[in-house]
Each structure stands twice: as C-alpha cells, then as structure tokens.
Structure 1
C-alpha cells in the first residue's frame, strides 16, 4: 500500500516545525502587516466622516462616502484622473518602443560609437532629475515660441519630458534581456532574406514580451505617481484647472494652512488613482514572473 501510493510523509513535530519553518511565517506575517498598515490608514481616512488624521482610529465607528462627494463636487478630479491615465499609457507605450529599438541596436548591431553610446546612457542616468528643474522650467517657458501647442499646461510636454528621462535605464534593461536571445535566430532569419526591421518585429519582440511587460509596468507606475516634473510643467495652475494630473491635483489639497488640510478627499483620490496600477499589475503578472525567470539564465 505504501509502495502504490508513494512513501508516507513523516509529520514534523511542532517544536521542530517552529524552529525550522514557523519563524518564517511569523516574519512574513509581520512584514505583511507592516506593509499594509499605511494602506489601511489611508482607507480609514478615505471613508471616515472626519477629514483630519489626528483623531483617526484603527477601526472607524462609521463608514461614509462624504469625502468622495467632496472630492468630485469641489474639484475636477475626473479630468485629473483622465490626464494621468493618458500620460501614463502614452508614456509607457512610447518608452517600450523607443527603449526596445535602442536596445536592439546596441545588442545586435555593430557600429562605431556603440560602446560610447552605452556608457553615455549609463552616465546620464547617474544625475538626479532635480538638477534639470531650472532647465525644464526655462524650456517650458520658451517652447510656445517654437511649438505653439506645447508649453505650460500641455499634456504633450509632460510626455516628452517623461520619455527623455526614462530612455537610458530602460534601454539598458532591455539590452540585457536581448543578449540572452540566441543570435542564431537572427542569422537564420537573415539567411531567409529577413531585414533588420523584420527580425526586430517578428522575432526579437515576441520573445522579449516578459521584459517589455516589466518595462511597461514600471514606466506606467512612474508616470502615474510622478510629481516633480509635472509640477514644473503645470506651474501656476490652481485647483480648479482641469489640466492637472492626479499627483499635482491631490498635492494641492494639502497645500495651505495646517487647519485647512483636506486629508479625506486626498485619501479617497489616492485610492482611486491606485486602481489602474493594481489592475495592470494583475494583468501583467504572468509576464512579470516569466521575465524574472527567463532573465535569470543566460543562453
């Protein structure tokens, strides 16, 4: 009977289980509670009747949608949400396309200045974006002189600055994944008459879907939560302006006298803004796991 059903597993004694495995469960639960406590605090503030954080409890006495009604009735939140969503989607898609094209050139092509270009991309990423704020502000002021559709308050301007800041590091990440794809596939396709563009679109990109999904997710999260560059481009816009993003709009709810801070509308707005990120992460989860596994082995 034991041979037919396989070897019988010996039950681990409680003392041994606690010594070898139990402490891992304790550490995992503690880490989970530590990570979820700020989120729970935001949820309480979002559905509490009070807009203050000083008198919040771990479990509120009543749940209400008062903060949501205040946010939607007093501010153009849905316009902020739409702007952030459009900026995040366009920025993520263009980032993946541009970074993948640059990574393909650095990984598969051999040309003069290739190593210098790679090192230049790495060097540029070492400088923090805050060093460019003055330059960004001056560029935003002068852009309408050359391009009337760009400038202060323009969604396209924010997208352009986001694309320039994320290209270098993402190109490096994708290049590392492209290097793991056997070059024999490229050579076989070239023998059959395929061009570099056909190799890129029909062979390399389908095989690199896991890392492209990771880059898309990271770029989406970064664009959705980015505040500093957006605040420079949207300088001078008040809370009634529909041109703001979610990050700049919600920050305006906390700008003022400490007795006039609107924590309740801020919390409910932050929860709504996190929904696209959570849904996108769930949709791309299988690609993310595949990308991490595939990137761990070369060849």
Structure 2
C-alpha cells in the first residue's frame, strides 16, 4: 500500500536520538533530580536516632518511631494551626480577589487603570521590606484588639490576605476579561442584580482561575516562614514552618529524624489538594493570558 501524504515515517537510529531521544534522557534526569531529595528525606524519617549526614544508605532501617513521637512534641497543634490559617487565607484570597477583579473588569470608574498599575507595582517590592511595619502595626493593634495583634492566628491570616490581594487580583482580572459581557447584559435584562450575576454566573464560569489562585495561596502560606516567625512568638501558636525550624535550628543537637518525619507529613495536604484541583490548573493558568 502506498504511503499517504499525511503519514510520517517512523524515526529510527540517529535521527530518533537527535529529535526525540535526548528529550527522554533530559526528562528522566530531571525526574531523578526532583525525586532523590524526597526519597532521601523519607528514608531519614524512618531512621530513629539517625542524622541526615549519617543516613547515606537509603532505607537502612524501617521504623515508625519518629512518626509516633511527633505528636508528643506538639506537632499536631502546629499542623492544625497551619491548616486553619492556610484554608482561611486561601478562601479569603479567592473571594476578595474575585470581587476586586470583577469590579476592575466590569465597571468603568475613575482611577481604574491607576489602581491596577498600583497593585502590580506594590508586588514588585520584597515582602521582607514590610517586616518592621507589620510588627509595629500588629503590636499597636494588639493593645486595642488582642485577637488581631501579635501571637494570634487571626492577625497572621490578615497579613497573608493583604499581601496576596494585589497579584491575585491582577491574575484574575485577565481571566474575567475572557467572559463575554453579553452574559452580563442578558442577565440584567432578566432582572438580575450585580450580586446575582457575580455569585451565580461569573464565579461558575471562572472556576479554573479560582482553583489556581486558591491552590497557589494555600501552598504559599503553607510553606511561608518569615512573616509567621515575626508574628508568632508562642510555641502553641506556631505554624508547621516555624515549628520545624526550631527542630532543625541547632545543627549539632537537631532532631533530624523528627524533622524529616514532620516534613513528610507536611507534604501530604499540598499533594492531596494539588491532585484534587489539577484538572482546573492548566486552563486556569493559560486561559486569561491571551486577552487583557
């Protein structure tokens, strides 16, 4: 049978290596580079009384002692604190960013372009420049309203919400612009208010970007250390990042086995959330990039 014009000859030999084969090699090398540290930490978590530098042989021992001792050291409190803070921060970021993006996308008001530019410029400055200001503000607020001051999870959550609003609003703004305005006009003709349009129509259509922003916000706050270290001073209020830092801060007497076990358990919520939201991630990251 004659070969049709649409058929392509199979790549073999040197041509296959030149066009396809080297990509497989690079892919496997990158997989090994990414997976090897994870396997090493998991192996160290199963070695009771061991150290990271002394755990050169992977899975030399298999003991769950480190995992059982975690909960006697206050790990469960740090885990719950991180879950609460990250969940509230992610939900708040999604709702606040979506409301702001909807206003910038659908309404025309004075200072609209200037507001978008200001949000983008503010995100260019490192967050560490605001540490002193954050500490002093929370210290002053704590004298009047202790629940929002230092050593409070609510105060830390408020700091996270304010820091993530700008970049997430700008990210959502591009996605909201891809939703046709004719849908808003049709809903208005049927008597829908702006609130009904926002909650019942727009949010359902922009679900991919909401999932992406929520995931990025959760991951960012879950692994954030510097702001949490400044705001939280009492051990019972620590997040996972701050608590694990105290376990590994003393290099000579560090509890590396507990540290590795805590790090392994700390990765589970992020992995589960990523797997749950992965079907929305690609469309959420790309759909808003072709229309500003």
TM-score tier by shorter-chain length is over 0.9
Find 1:283's aligned residue among 253, 276, 288.
276
Contact 1:254 1:261 in 2 (8 A): yes
Calculate the TM-score normalised by the size of structure 1: 0.91
Bigger Cα displacement from structure 2, 166-175 vs 147-156: 147-156
Find 2:205's aligned residue among 204, 207, 223.
207
Inter-partner Cα distance in structure 1 for 2:39 and 2:231: 33
Report how far residue 85 of structure 1 moved: 0.3
Find 1:79's aligned residue among 74, 77, 80.
77
SS of the aligned residue for 1:110 comes to coil
Report how far residue 69 of structure 1 moved: 2.6
Report how far residue 155 of structure 1 moved: 0.8
The change in CA–CA distance for 1:112 and 1:250 in structure 2 (over 3 A counts) is same
Q: Which runs of 5+ in 1 are unaligned?
A: none
Report how far residue 174 of structure 1 moved: 0.1
SS of the aligned residue for 1:126 comes to coil
Q: Which runs of 5+ in 2 are unaligned?
A: none
Equivalent residues in 2 for 1:113-192, closer than 5 Å: 113-192=111-190
1:32-76 Cα offsets, whole Å, 9 max, x none, are: 111112111211211123431111124232111122233222x11
Specify the alignment match of 1:28 in structure 2.
Answer: 27
Report how far residue 11 of structure 1 moved: 4.3
Bigger Cα displacement from structure 2, 136-145 vs 260-269: 136-145
1:122-172 Cα offsets, whole Å, 9 max, x none, are: 121111111111111112222222213232221101100000000000000
Specify the alignment match of 1:259 in structure 2.
Answer: 252
Contact 1:51 1:265 in 2 (8 A): no
The change in CA–CA distance for 1:173 and 1:293 in structure 2 (over 3 A counts) is closer
Inter-partner Cα distance in structure 2 for 1:58 and 1:17: 37
Contact 1:106 1:175 in 2 (8 A): yes
The change in CA–CA distance for 1:58 and 1:180 in structure 2 (over 3 A counts) is farther
Q: How many equivalent residue pairs?
A: 289
SS of the aligned residue for 1:37 comes to helix
The alignment yields a C-alpha RMSD, in angstroms, of: 1.9
Bigger Cα displacement from structure 2, 131-140 vs 96-105: 131-140
SS of the aligned residue for 2:108 comes to coil
1:149-202 Cα offsets, whole Å, 9 max, x none, are: 232221101100000000000000000101111111112212222211111112
Specify the alignment match of 1:248 in structure 2.
Answer: 242
Inter-partner Cα distance in structure 2 for 1:112 and 1:122: 18
1:206-256 Cα offsets, whole Å, 9 max, x none, are: 110000100000000011111111111113x2xxx3211111100010223
Calculate the TM-score normalised by the size of structure 2: 0.93
Find 1:96's aligned residue among 94, 100, 117.
94
Contact 1:88 1:223 in 2 (8 A): yes
